[in-house]
């Protein structure tokens, strides 16, 4: 009889300070020794938008290495799993926390990036993570392609064209199609046509599509968003750090928000799936050029357990 293996896991809700809000992520804090097949099987069993595996770094400038899996495939980078992973590591006492800010470096397949953990009374209160420098990968043109985008999410085409803003693919590690929409009602009523959405994303080399409007539920928010990522196995994501970073860069580039050396953008997401989320985006610019983006928020621990296989 073959010996069975056990792996501890933790589930955190990210971009919220309330249990059952935000975006859940499964964290495997001791993943060294797992092969890719096992990681994918565990992610499929967790059946969340992402499962993150924490490993020893291969780059000496990083303290930890992270790998990200959806239920169907590995992806190069994701935002909320980073916050969830380091919140769990802090909870376990693996991280040596120093007040008021503890800086650590994560290694991913797209590079090494810093995180700043705000610490008060020995507890992590907020995490901000660095993301790769934004890449603007192309606008969706001509008009017939915009109409296909509108059909893919069941939004009237005039709701998109009436904004006067482009549909554009932007990446801070995860290429996402940014789609402006005039009204909150249109965003809330949007419904993805999975086959068409996947086709549109494939045509424009995006791995997901984010709708946004500047009409918000909460007065303190800058934008209201929804994220459809069926190309990587996630129909709708309740809070998306990587896409929010790309959106922040888009908003600054196109002058949708007042721009300064550090532009703060508050994204609300997840309301349509009953998981309200709040994401803070900082876009850092120098001489009218975007240099880097940080995305952050809070997290809460919800579940801990063991996977036996």
Active site residues: 50
Q: What is the dihedral of CA 297, 114, 174, 252, to 10 degrees?
A: 70
- C-beta separation of 298 from 19 below 8 A: no
| Cβ neighbours of 250 (radius 10 Å) | 24
For 45, how many CA atoms within 13 A lie in the half-sphere containing its CB? 14
Q: What distance in Å separates the CA atoms of residue 107 and residue 64, rounded to the nearest whole number?
A: 6
**3-state SS track over 7-19:** EEEEEEEECCCCC
Give CA separation, 135 vs 55, 79, 225, 248, 261, in Å: 28, 16, 20, 12, 19
Give 85: exposed, middle or buried? Use CB within 10 Å, 0-12, 13-18, 19+: buried
- C-beta separation of 234 from 70 below 8 A: yes
Which residues have a Cβ under 8 Å from the Cβ of 129 and sit 6 or more positions away?
79, 82, 83, 106, 113, 114, 115, 241, 294, 295, 296
Give 27: exposed, middle or buried? Use CB within 10 Å, 0-12, 13-18, 19+: buried
């Amino acid at each position: 009889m073959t010996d069975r293996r056990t792996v501890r896991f933790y589930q955190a809700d990210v971009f919220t300070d309330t249990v059952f809000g935000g975006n859940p992520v499964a964290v495997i804090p001791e993943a060294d020794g797992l092969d890719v097949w096992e990681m994918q099987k565990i992610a499929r069993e967790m059946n969340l938008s992402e499962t993150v595996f924490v490993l020893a770094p291969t780059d000496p400038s990083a303290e930890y290495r992270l790998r990200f899996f959806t239920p169907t495939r590995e992806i190069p980078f994701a935002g909320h799993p980073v916050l969830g992973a380091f919140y769990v590591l802090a909870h376990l006492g693996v991280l040596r926390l120093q007040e008021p800010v503890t800086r650590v470096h994560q290694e991913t397949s797209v590079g090494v990036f810093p995180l700043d953990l705000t610490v008060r009374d020995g507890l992590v209160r907020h995490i901000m993570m660095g993301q790769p420098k934004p890449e603007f990968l192309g606008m969706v043109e001509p008009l017939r392609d915009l109409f296909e985008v509108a059909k893919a999410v069941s939004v009237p085409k005039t709701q998109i064209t009436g904004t006067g803003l482009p549909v554009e693919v932007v990446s801070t590690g995860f290429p996402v199609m940014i789609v402006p929409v005039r009204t909150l009602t249109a965003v809330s009523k949007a419904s993805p046509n999975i086959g068409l959405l996947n086709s549109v994303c494939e045509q424009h080399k995006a791995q997901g599509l984010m709708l946004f409007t500047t009409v918000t539920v909460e007065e303190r928010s800058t934008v209201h968003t929804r994220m459809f990522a069926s190309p990587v196995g996630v129909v709708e994501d309740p809070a998306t750090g990587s896409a929010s970073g790309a959106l922040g860069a888009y908003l600054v580039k196109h002058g949708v928000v007042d721009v300064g050396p550090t532009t703060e953008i508050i994204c609300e997401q997840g309301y349509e799936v009953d998981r309200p989320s709040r994401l803070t985006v900082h876009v850092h610019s120098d001489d009218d050029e975007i240099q880097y983006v940080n995305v952050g928020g809070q997290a809460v621990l919800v579940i801990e357990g063991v996977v036996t296989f």
